[in-house]
Structure 1
Amino acid sequence: MSFTVAIVGRPNVGKSTLFNRLVGKKLALVDDTPGVTRDRRPGDAKLVDLRFTIIDTAGLEETGPDTLEGRMRAQTEMAIQEADLTLFVVDAKMGLTPLDKTFGELLRRSGKPVVLVANKSEARGSDGGFYDAFTLGLGEPVPISAEHGQGMIDLRDAIVEAIGDERAFAGENDEEAVTDVSIPAGELEGDEDEEIEPVYDDTKPLRVAIVGRPNAGKSTLINRFLGEDRLLTGPEAGITRDSISVEWDWRGRTIKMFDTAGMRRKARVQEKLEKLSVADALRAIRFAETVVIVFDATIPFEKQDLQIVDLVLREGRAAVLAFNKWDLVEHPQEVLADLREKTERLLPQARGIRAVPISGQTGYGLDKLMQNIIDTDKVWNKRISTAKLNRWLEGVQVQHPPPAVSGRRLKLKYMTQVKARPPAFMISCTRPDAVPEHYLRYLTNGLRADFQMPGVPIRIHLKASENPFESRKKRR
């Protein structure tokens, strides 16, 4: 990307709508309620022939630095400092307010190029607000409609004029040079020879989602990993609304982490905005490879904690538990032993799941947490050769034969791994619908123990074996 653009303005002028328009996806939450956006969210924008990084920000408000709105404003000011250009969005339909004039002065003092954008210009009676925008002294406003996509050509021309042709098209030649991207053999799922167990690629970027109940310390944890106040934090529950992605390197490997909104019990989620936030968190879980479920170590294993873990496992993600706020725990050895016992007892569907005590506030245990994330991802990507699986299947049937159903013994004939991420296996057998659940659990636990696959979801699919004489019966 050749340059960075920040979108700023007071609450509810359409900044997130414009952000979604420029990135071409509905990434940012949009609602009529003022102040939906709180953290700054980056995205890859495309505007006609321009390619740049766009940053959505919280609405600028005049308030004290210790309040939630004050901390939101501090995040916006950091985005202005990082950006090469600022889009100052005003509401042409409503007209200028004293806040617009105050922040127009703030942008003038920043010394950065500013493009004044008059949004909602398609509305009846918006001409007055458009002409009022000239009084801000930031040049001619660009009339647009972020909702309907009007005025985007004019916005493109204004950006190029403000930042200059050389900067606007700086990375174009590099992008054109990349004409062919070949996919190495084995990159596509299922390409591997099932008799060859592929080596884990520890250079590939890893996507990690951080989930948990509200106020468990998810944003604080990510800030500690980054070493800066990248995400908005505070004592208030439910600060995070959008799922924000951040990238950083851990021991030479790129980690893309997603901060998500706290997930409460479904019955307590009444407001439309919270429903949108939870839906965004669920999308982050599906997009991630490994999911860290953050528990509050002072009140662990609430019912909602267990439901979140179960949701992650049903989605097929690799899961790691993080017991946060460990610096507040008294008698840590006794509490740790109790947590391990409860983990094994309350999460039988994820036997052997990795759990790490951490403190996002002090940084305790974060290296150990990252190592457990990598180890779990290795298991999640694991493939086992068909020959090993069939030798194993023969052995477990000798040790514990399948039960007889209606006087007829079930026969498990053949086994192979059909996919990884998560590991899934197919067993060819007689009468697959008659295999009881307890025997499938026996096979699953055996796979975990014998092939060192703790803590990840394992899928076993049963398939009826083909009868070679079936076609002969039909001819008769």
Structure 2
Amino acid sequence: MGATVAIIGRPNVGKSTLFNRLVGKRLALVDDTPGVTRDRRPGEARLGDLRFTIIDTAGLEEADKSSLEGRMRRQTEEAIETADAVLFLIDARAGVTPLDAHFAEVARKTTRPVILLANKAEGRAGESGLYESYSLGLGEPIAISAEHGEGLADLYDALKPHVDRVSDEEQSNREEAVVNVDVDEDGEFIEEQDPAGTKERPLRVAIVGRPNAGKSTLINEMVGEDRMLTGPEAGITRDSISVDWVWRDRHVKLFDTAGIRRKARVQEKLEKLSVADALRAIKFAEVVVVTLDATMSFEKQDLQIIDLVAREGRALVIAINKWDLVEDREAAWKKIRDANERYFNQIRGVQITTLSGIQGQGIDRLVESVFKSYEAWNARVSTSKLNRWLDRVTANHPPPAVAGRRIRLRYMTQPKTRPPHFIVFCSRPEQLPESYTRYLVNSLREKFNIQGTPVRLTYRKGENPYAPGKKRKIQ
């Protein structure tokens, strides 16, 4: 994308609604509550033949620089500094407020071209506010309705001098180059030939965890700038924000997510939307880093998040953050190791890394663990090796006999990776106990070094040629 356009304005004027309209997806959270957006969120926008990067920002408010609102305002100011053009939104139905007038003065001082938009102008209710907006000194306002898509032709004409136009052929080439996230009906990834980590196909990594575990601080330290809004307050992050990053010539797309609390504690609609956005980030990530607070690690909610990631079938890394605050590190590490052996049977051998996001310690180890986990997630074993292994493990520990008849495991294959998925063809699979499945999975992990990723093992029953209704083939 060439040009960058920032959307600014006071809270609750419809900035995120316009953002979603221009990107063509419901990426940004939208609610009637003022101040929903806190971090600046980029997106790939299209308006006719115009293609540009649009940035959704927090609502401008007058506040002390050290307060949460002040830090949100600084994020918006940085978006203005990097933009090629600015869309200044007001609420036409509310008219020009003192806050609009104050920040219009700030907008007039910028060297960037500013386009004044009077949102919510559908019907007669917005006419008075539209005429009032001339007093802001930002030129002729454009009446739009972000909710209903009205006025976008006038917005196109205003943006055309500042934004690149793309032909149909160029757009077709761009769409072919876009990497789509393909999952099947079970939420498992459809295999791709090209490995992740290239510029065309960055590795998708979601950073998740409980509120105030240091997720945003960690990402800021990784990318080397204050990209995410941080602070001592819990639950600052609401949207899932993506950031492109290059580590040792390997391309990564990081997703910062809202903290996930226990379901019983999530009461407000806005927090439910934030948690749903975080869960969606997990579903479309390839590797998930579960961030734990070293001063209170492995609480029940941590284990539930880890279990959720395993059930979704994503590669997993556990990051023990705030390690610099731990006094007795030997005792803390013993507790972590014990918890690993006790709770993580389905992801045995998971990568666990200690780090300090605020001091930048352990980040290289963390990313190395991410790529190791990704390799295990893509592990593939040939059918011949699998069946030689199956013969040995069933000889050493045969399946149990049920009703006096031994269950026979005949054949094994691996149809999928991401995560590794194995199928065993056997007689009477419904009578095979869960304990024997765990034995097979653990043996698989040890033999083929498939550590730290979920492993799927399912059974299929071979057809009985002597069953009623079966026709025997004549040689």
Category of TM-score, reference length = shorter chain = over 0.9
Q: For residue 216 of structure 1, what is the aligned residue in structure 2? A: 213
Among candidates 253, 257, 261, match of residue 256 of structure 1 = 253
Q: For residue 38 of structure 1, what is the aligned residue in structure 2? A: 38
> Please, what TM-score do these two structures have when normalized by structure 2?
0.93
- Deviations 1:418-469, CA, capped at 9 Å, x for gaps: 1000000111000111111000010011111111011111111100012344
- Deviations 1:87-120, CA, capped at 9 Å, x for gaps: 0000000001111111111111111101100000
- Deviations 1:139-195, CA, capped at 9 Å, x for gaps: 11010000011111111111124x2xxx532x6599258389599xxx998789xxx
Task: Describe the SS at the equivalent of 2:44.
Answer: strand
Task: Describe the SS at the equivalent of 2:147.
Answer: coil
Among candidates 277, 296, 300, match of residue 299 of structure 1 = 296
Q: For residue 401 of structure 1, what is the aligned residue in structure 2? A: 398
Deviation at 1:200, TM superposition (A): 5.9
| Cα distance in 2 between the residues matched to 1:53 and 1:180 | 15
Q: Cα RMSD over matched residues?
A: 2.3
Q: Given the alignment of the two structures, is residue 69 of structure 1 paired with residue 69 of structure 2, yes or no?
A: yes
Q: For residue 466 of structure 1, what is the aligned residue in structure 2? A: 463
Paired AA for residue 168 in structure 1 = D
Q: State how 1:218-237 maps to structure 2 within 5 Å.
A: 218-237=215-234
| Cα distance in 1 between the residues matched to 2:8 and 2:347 | 45
Q: For residue 376 of structure 1, what is the aligned residue in structure 2? A: 373
| Cα distance in 2 between the residues matched to 1:257 and 1:310 | 21
- Deviations 1:342-399, CA, capped at 9 Å, x for gaps: 2211222221111000000001111000000000000001111000000001010011
Please list every run of 5 or more consecutive structure 2 residues that lacks an aligned counterpart in the other structure: 184-188
Paired AA for residue 348 in structure 1 = N
Task: Describe the SS at the equivalent of 1:150.
Answer: coil
Among candidates 173, 177, 181, match of residue 178 of structure 1 = 173
Paired AA for residue 20 in structure 2 = N
Q: For residue 131 of structure 1, what is the aligned residue in structure 2? A: 131
| Cα distance in 1 between the residues matched to 2:431 and 2:135 | 78
Paired AA for residue 404 in structure 1 = A
Task: Describe the SS at the equivalent of 2:317.
Answer: strand
Preserved contact between residue 216 and residue 324 of structure 1 (Cα < 8 Å): yes
Task: Describe the SS at the equivalent of 1:248.
Answer: strand
Among candidates 356, 359, 364, match of residue 356 of structure 2 = 359
Q: For residue 143 of structure 1, what is the aligned residue in structure 2? A: 143
Paired AA for residue 74 in structure 1 = R
Q: For residue 17 of structure 2, what is the aligned residue in structure 1? A: 17
Task: Describe the SS at the equivalent of 1:125.
Answer: helix
Distance 1:346 1:191, change over 3 A: closer
Q: For residue 457 of structure 1, what is the aligned residue in structure 2? A: 454
Q: For residue 53 of structure 2, what is the aligned residue in structure 1? A: 53
| Cα distance in 1 between the residues matched to 2:170 and 2:70 | 39
Q: For residue 414 of structure 1, what is the aligned residue in structure 2? A: 411
Moved more, 349-358 or 271-280: 349-358
Deviation at 1:37, TM superposition (A): 0.2
Among candidates 307, 332, 336, match of residue 333 of structure 2 = 336
Task: Describe the SS at the equivalent of 1:257.
Answer: strand
Deviation at 1:125, TM superposition (A): 2.0
Count of aligned positions: 464
Deviation at 1:290, TM superposition (A): 0.3
Task: Describe the SS at the equivalent of 1:298.
Answer: helix
Question: Percent of aligned positions with the same letter in both sequences?
Answer: 60
Q: For residue 87 of structure 1, what is the aligned residue in structure 2? A: 87
| Cα distance in 2 between the residues matched to 1:352 and 1:272 | 37
Q: For residue 7 of structure 1, what is the aligned residue in structure 2? A: 7
Q: For residue 309 of structure 2, what is the aligned residue in structure 1? A: 312
Paired AA for residue 328 in structure 2 = H
Q: For residue 441 of structure 2, what is the aligned residue in structure 1? A: 444
Preserved contact between residue 191 and residue 417 of structure 2 (Cα < 8 Å): no
Deviation at 1:2, TM superposition (A): 2.4
| Cα distance in 2 between the residues matched to 1:391 and 1:224 | 47
> Please, what TM-score do these two structures have when normalized by structure 1?
0.93
- Deviations 1:277-303, CA, capped at 9 Å, x for gaps: 000000000010000000000001110
Paired AA for residue 253 in structure 1 = R
| Cα distance in 1 between the residues matched to 2:123 and 2:21 | 18
Q: State how 1:200-215 maps to structure 2 within 5 Å.
A: 203=198, 204-215=201-212
Q: Given the alignment of the two structures, is residue 323 of structure 1 paired with residue 320 of structure 2, yes or no?
A: yes
Preserved contact between residue 200 and residue 381 of structure 1 (Cα < 8 Å): no
Q: State how 1:422-441 maps to structure 2 within 5 Å.
A: 422-441=419-438
Distance 1:448 1:179, change over 3 A: closer
Preserved contact between residue 417 and residue 426 of structure 1 (Cα < 8 Å): yes
Distance 1:473 1:102, change over 3 A: closer
Preserved contact between residue 200 and residue 378 of structure 1 (Cα < 8 Å): no
Preserved contact between residue 49 and residue 167 of structure 2 (Cα < 8 Å): no
Distance 1:104 1:301, change over 3 A: same
Paired AA for residue 336 in structure 1 = W
| Cα distance in 2 between the residues matched to 1:43 and 1:425 | 38
Task: Describe the SS at the equivalent of 1:427.
Answer: strand
Task: Describe the SS at the equivalent of 1:158.
Answer: helix
| Cα distance in 2 between the residues matched to 1:178 and 1:377 | 29
Distance 1:272 1:224, change over 3 A: same
Preserved contact between residue 41 and residue 56 of structure 2 (Cα < 8 Å): yes
Please list every run of 5 or more consecutive structure 1 residues that lacks an aligned counterpart in the other structure: 193-197
Task: Describe the SS at the equivalent of 1:309.
Answer: helix
| Cα distance in 2 between the residues matched to 1:473 and 1:237 | 64
| Cα distance in 2 between the residues matched to 1:384 and 1:69 | 53
Among candidates 240, 243, 247, match of residue 246 of structure 1 = 243
